[in-house]
Amino acid sequence: MSDRVIIGLEVHAQITSLKTKLFCSCSSDYRGRKPNTNVCPTCLGLPGSLPVLNRAALEKAIALALALNCRISEKLIFVRKHYFYPDLPKNYQISQYDRYGLIPFAVSGSIAIDMGNYSKVVRIRRINIEEDTGRIVYPGGSPLGSTYSLVDYNRAGIALLEIVTEPDFSNSREARVFLEKLGSILEHLDITDTSLEGALRADANISVAGGPRVEIKNIGSPRELEKALNYEIARQLNILKSGGTLERETRHWIKEKGITVPSRAKELEGDYRYFPDPDLPPISIPPDLIESIKRRLPELPDLRARRLAEEYGIGSYMASVLVLNKRLCDHFENTVRLCGNPKLVSSILVNEFLRWVDELDLDLGEGLRRLNSKRLCRIVDYLEKGLISVKLLKEYVRRVIVENTDPEKIVESGMTTLSSAEDIEKIVEEVFKEYPKAVEDARRDPKAVNFLVGQVMKKTRGRADPKLTNAIILRRLQEHESG
Amino acid sequence: MSPPQCTDLATIGIKSLRARVEEDPDFLFKYIEEVYKIIEKYEGVIKAYITLRPMEEVVREAEEVLKRGTLGPLGGSLVAVKDNISTKGIRTTCGSKMLENYVPPYDATVVERIKTAGGIIIGKTNMDEFAMGSTTENSSFFPTRNPWDLERVPGGSSGGSAAAVAACEATVALGSDTGGSIRLPAAYTGTVGLKPTYGLVSRYGLIAYASSLDQIGPIGRCVDDVARVLSVIAGHDSRDSTSLKVEVPDYTQFVSEEPLRKYRAVVIEEMIGEGVDREVIKVLEHVVDKLEGYDIEVEFRSIPILEYSLPAYYIIAMAEASSNLARYDGLRYGIHLSTEGLLWTKTYAQVRKMGFGDEVKRRIILGTYVLSEGLYEGYYLKAAKVRRAIYDSFRKLFSEFDFAVSPTAPTPPPKLGEVVADPLKLYSLDINTVPVNLAGLPAISVPGGFVGGLPVGIQLFGPPLSEGVLINVARMVEVIVGYER
Ligand SMILES: [Zn+2]
């Protein structure tokens, strides 16, 4: 039995840059408002209300379709997708469909992802324009802890782009990188502010070892996607290994607990009774509109990565990681503009910054505010001046991010490299006295020198300049020999 | 001729009312009082209104209209509004228990326009629940009676509007027409009812039955009143995506006793075939004879595809209805049940079971069925093809003719209870009116005479945006039959 994993994604991206909802003039900025105050007859589905398309949404959708190399339909045909659910005001959702002569908004695109040691082209099956639902609010925080639930329709009718991939991912990491890249493309196109809660959501279809397709819903970020998939892969493999069988089902990702659970209500394979929405006549998408949007497309992640590699001489993988997040990438360029040294800056951002943001589960924007360009440049400056070593630099980055403090403060606390030979001499002398046996060893075996260097580092808590320390120890070993 | 409820004063049309009020503002109050006198006397039996506004409220609004300085084209007319058209602050039930206590927070576009034009809403009229019916007997509340014969139905689904106008309980009314719901009641009550070209009048605020067929239109006691109201309510509305972007003329310029140009007319054989009462056909023949006297050539044509118009219509209308009515779940508005401890699915089922009547349930179930996976192509798609074929046939027909003429309904108004129990019989009342909706054409029903003391309507319909022609010819028919005030 092979453990082959097949994953496909269905991503929902809110068009957060719009002023209004998809079919009415309510604000698209619904977050943080009193429940059910950002509503009107249309998005509440009051009797007699009618939808009118927000044209700006169509233009944003065209930009995305172009960026993903999709084929855009000649007509935008809205359909009604029917299902009963309390967060759905009309008990149907306005979307598109691909059967019965109906067509998705755009089809057959692709996104290339760089996995470091290999790259991959992920196929996009389709993009649709549709409306978001309201939100179910549980007074007890979760369905299980509540005896009733409330509905907030402030979000109902927000413009969504639905992006569906082919099942092209073989592991969770690829899915995460894809979602990051898609988010970055949406950011570059000024479609979605992915830092907003719920602005970029994913459902994943996963099949392990030829087993049935399991759908995981309610995944809110690339990082969560990777975690959810890892959990699910392990769960399914465990069941198979213990001789159990998997069933086709829908599961929900519970972020707080880091697990997936079966959907509470048995979600039946719905008969959605799609049919063309009689309130919205088909809208033709003129080629010259597509052309004019194409001409105005901004620099997108792939091109930007190429430019970064050329302009700053950083490696192409480094560049491809930077462009997975527009704000990170902007931060890189801003910082380099301020203090140069692109290789070091990119390395700090990719190798140190991203690791800590992940580890601390920190919002990326907050992370960037903490490690702002000024602070980052100061740290680079310390290294260039020899005030700190590469090892200390890492510690500086960590403390700036964790403690949200200025590098100056850390310097003041005395955490600098011991670069005066005099200071290091003293410590070396102490170490030599404490470990005479090691000193003997080191004379015979150059490899054993490292132990002594290590002890010096330990005593200085890493502040000693390693090169200098090494040089002093070697000199003293020779002196002992001759003396 | 008017039914017995009307008085000379109450029979007045918009044009005269406006002129009299212009001369003497107090006349408006006299008129209002007269209308309320009739209502007090007869409404208890006719039952045209679901919600009638108190006279004091209407008088207060009349005072405001008079204060405006300009009377507006409707000049203080009392407008009865079908209860599926949203009125801000006035309960709008759609003839259904489901919305028994629903008070819209907004006005339909047509209501806004009526108010701006100096019209005063007098009340909300009875109708078949969610406009599903042809007799107004399917109202969740009570049936409306025909002012000409209280044993008979006023037609539907805009029966309340037509009865209110016929009995002089309002100056004019708004109805809605999905498959004949303005024209059939107009025909049965001896009034004039116009169903505009699809998209000419905004549907914003009209509670949808079948969105691709629904149109709001006026009902009046004379063609002139209908032309005046249409001039007010027609025209593009950015809140309705199906609204046509066309310049709207002043339709009163077409209210002429002489043909405004040379017309060619057609009678469609399928519309005078089996099932159409002999006496009704005689009324039509009389009108057609007289029209020929105006140098209008009348020819006969057959459109065989019309045989499929009723099934196609009911499939499309029910499919759309099943979708449009999905939103009634009792959660945001409408009836609210105490459902503590029930799952939301059970709550929804209970609300919809109690809120909808049998005919509505029948159409939701059938509509759901025809949209189901595996059946969609055989029903909905096929019906859409028939619809397209009918549209094409009419387009060809009207490249040759200016308008078509037919009986509006196959028979004079039936008695209460006579057809309502038999859906197929009920549906067949719409045989001549539904093809017009399927093709999105304008049509008018104008009184053509009487059969056994009961009014019979003549339907005129033409190519898109031919309302002017229809109003012109309808006015000629009024003169022909001497049905004037
Ligand atoms: Zn809204």
pLDDT for A419 beyond 90: no
pLDDT at A422: 72
Residues A82 and A229 in one domain: yes
In B364-393, the residues whose Cβ lies within 8 Å of chain A are 368, 371-373, 376-377, 380-381
pLDDT tier at B208 (50, 70, 90 boundaries)? very high
Average pLDDT over residues B59-82: 96
Asked if A82's CB is within 8 angstroms of B204's CB, the reply is: no
Residues A352 and A442 in one domain: no
pLDDT for A141 beyond 90: no
Q: What are phi and psi of B451, to 5 degrees?
A: -130, 115
- Give CA–CA dist A11/A183, Å, rounded: 10
The dihedral built from the CA positions of residue A132, A137, A143 and A149, taken in this order, carries a sign that is: negative
Higher pLDDT: A459 or B479? It is B479
Judge whether B145 and B47 are in contact, CB under 8 Å.
Answer: yes
pLDDT at B340: 75
Asked if A53's CB is within 8 angstroms of B348's CB, the reply is: no
How close, in Å, is residue B286 to chain A by CA atoms? 40
Residue from the list B94, B238, B320 with its beta carbon closest to the beta carbon of A52 = B238
Decide if B231 touches A, using CB distance below 8 A: no
Residue from the list A50, A84, A275 with its beta carbon closest to the beta carbon of B239 = A50
Residues A401 and A426 in one domain: no
Higher pLDDT: A212 or B423? It is A212
Distance A46 CA to ligand 1 centre (A): 10
Residue of B nearest to A84 (CA): B326
pLDDT tier at B4 (50, 70, 90 boundaries)? very high
pLDDT for A164 beyond 60: yes
Judge whether B297 and B265 are in contact, CB under 8 Å.
Answer: yes
Average pLDDT over residues A430-457: 86
Q: Which of A293, A318, A353 is the last residue of a domain?
A: A293
Q: Could you read off the pLDDT of B120-140 as tens digits, one per residue?
A: 999 999 999 999 999 999 999
3-state secondary structure of A356: helix
Residue of A nearest to B326 (CA): A91
Residues A235 and A366 in one domain: no
Which residues from chain A sit within 8 angstroms of residue B210, using beta carbons? Answer: 278
pLDDT at A482: 56
Which residues from chain B sit within 8 angstroms of residue A274, using beta carbons? Answer: 371
pLDDT tier at A413 (50, 70, 90 boundaries)? confident
Higher pLDDT: A103 or A101? It is A103
HEC-encoded secondary structure of B104-120: CCCCCHHHHHHHHCCCE
- Give CA–CA dist B182/B443, Å, rounded: 10
Higher pLDDT: A448 or B71? It is B71
Which residues from chain B sit within 8 angstroms of residue A138, using beta carbons? Answer: none
Name the domain count of chain A.
Answer: 3
Residue from the list B203, B239, B373 with its beta carbon closest to the beta carbon of A271 = B373
How close, in Å, is residue A30 to chain B by CA atoms? 19
pLDDT at A268: 54
All domains of chain B in start order, with CATH:
1-485 (3.90.1300.10)
Q: Could you read off the pLDDT of B465-479 as tens digits, one per residue?
A: 999 999 999 999 999
* Beta bridge pairs of residue B174: B81, B218
- Out of A254-268, A401-415, B5-19, least confident range: A254-268
pLDDT for A292 beyond 60: yes
What type of residue sits at position B409?
A
Is B157 an annotated catalytic residue? yes
* Beta bridge pairs of residue B177: B215
pLDDT tier at A420 (50, 70, 90 boundaries)? low
Decide if B240 touches A, using CB distance below 8 A: yes
Asked if B377's CB is within 8 angstroms of A100's CB, the reply is: yes
What type of residue sits at position A299?
E
ipTM metric: 0.96
CA A320 to chain CA mean position, Å = 13
Asked if B240's CB is within 8 angstroms of A52's CB, the reply is: yes
Look up residue A445 and give its DSSP letter: -
> Which residue of the set B139, B140, B158, B181 is catalytic?
B181
- Cβ contacts of B261 within 8 Å, gap of 6 or more: none
Average pLDDT over residues B108-112: 98
Asked if A84's CB is within 8 angstroms of B241's CB, the reply is: no
Residues A312 and A280 in one domain: no
Average pLDDT over residues B321-340: 91
Which residues from chain B sit within 8 angstroms of residue A89, using beta carbons? Answer: 327, 332
- Give CA–CA dist B206/A337, Å, rounded: 60
Q: Which of A270, A293, A316 is the last residue of a domain?
A: A293
Mutate which of B127, B329, B348, B387 to disrupt the A interface (most A C-beta within 10 Å)? Answer: B329
Which residues from chain B sit within 8 angstroms of residue A44, using beta carbons? Answer: 332
Residue of A nearest to B372 (CA): A273
Residues A89 and A154 in one domain: yes
Residues A395 and A428 in one domain: no
pLDDT for A417 beyond 80: no
Residue of A nearest to B86 (CA): A48
Residues A175 and A39 in one domain: yes
pLDDT for A264 beyond 70: no
Average pLDDT over residues A112-128: 95
- Give CA–CA dist B407/B60, Å, rounded: 42
Q: In percent, how much of chain B has pLDDT > 70? A: 99
- Token pair, residue B210, equals 């079948």
Asked if B376's CB is within 8 angstroms of A279's CB, the reply is: no
How close, in Å, is residue B484 to chain A by CA atoms? 36
How close, in Å, is residue A281 to chain B by CA atoms? 7
Average pLDDT over residues A296-325: 95
Q: Could you read off the pLDDT of A191-205 as tens digits, one per residue?
A: 999 999 999 999 999
Residues A385 and A305 in one domain: yes
What separation, in Å, do the N-terminal and C-terminal C-alpha atoms of chain A show?
69
pLDDT at A483: 47
Residues A86 and A135 in one domain: yes
How close, in Å, is residue A182 to chain B by CA atoms? 32
Report how far apart, in Å, the C-alpha atoms of A322 and of each of A59, A186, B107 are. 27, 15, 53
Structural domain span for residue A337? 299-412
Asked if A271's CB is within 8 angstroms of B327's CB, the reply is: no
Mutate which of A50, A84, A95, A102 to disrupt the B interface (most B C-beta within 10 Å)? Answer: A50
Which residues from chain A sit within 8 angstroms of residue B379, using beta carbons? Answer: none
Residues A430 and A403 in one domain: no
Mutate which of B198, B328, B332 to disrupt the A interface (most A C-beta within 10 Å)? Answer: B332
pLDDT at A111: 97
Q: Which of A412, A443, A465 is the last residue of a domain?
A: A412
pLDDT for B482 beyond 70: yes
Is B82 an annotated catalytic residue? yes
Residues A179 and A271 in one domain: yes
Decide if B86 touches A, using CB distance below 8 A: yes
DSSP, residue by residue, A96-159: --SSTT---SEEEEEEEEE-SS-EEEEEEEEEEEEE---EEE-TTSSSTT-SS-EEE-TTTT-E
Higher pLDDT: A389 or B261? It is B261
pLDDT tier at B485 (50, 70, 90 boundaries)? very low
Residue from the list B241, B327, B344 with its beta carbon closest to the beta carbon of A279 = B241
Residue of A nearest to B210 (CA): A278
> Which residue of the set B157, B309, B406, B466 is catalytic?
B157
> Given its phi and psi angles, is residue A387 left (phi above 0), alpha (psi -120 to 50 degrees) or beta?
alpha
The residue written with tokens 């017995």 in the block is B4
Is B97 an annotated catalytic residue? no
pLDDT for A276 beyond 90: yes
pLDDT for A29 beyond 50: yes
> Which residue of the set B47, B77, B82, B139 is catalytic?
B82
Judge whether B367 and B360 are in contact, CB under 8 Å.
Answer: no
Q: Could you read off the pLDDT of B430-440 as tens digits, one per residue?
A: 999 999 999 99
In B126-155, the residues whose Cβ lies within 8 Å of chain A are none
Which residues from chain A sit within 8 angstroms of residue B86, using beta carbons? Answer: 46-48
pLDDT for B220 beyond 50: yes
In B299-338, the residues whose Cβ lies within 8 Å of chain A are 319-320, 322-323, 326-327, 329, 331-333
Residue of A nearest to B324 (CA): A90
Q: In percent, how much of chain A has pLDDT > 70? A: 96
**What are the helix (H) ranges across B325-381?**
344-355, 358-370
Asked if B323's CB is within 8 angstroms of A80's CB, the reply is: yes
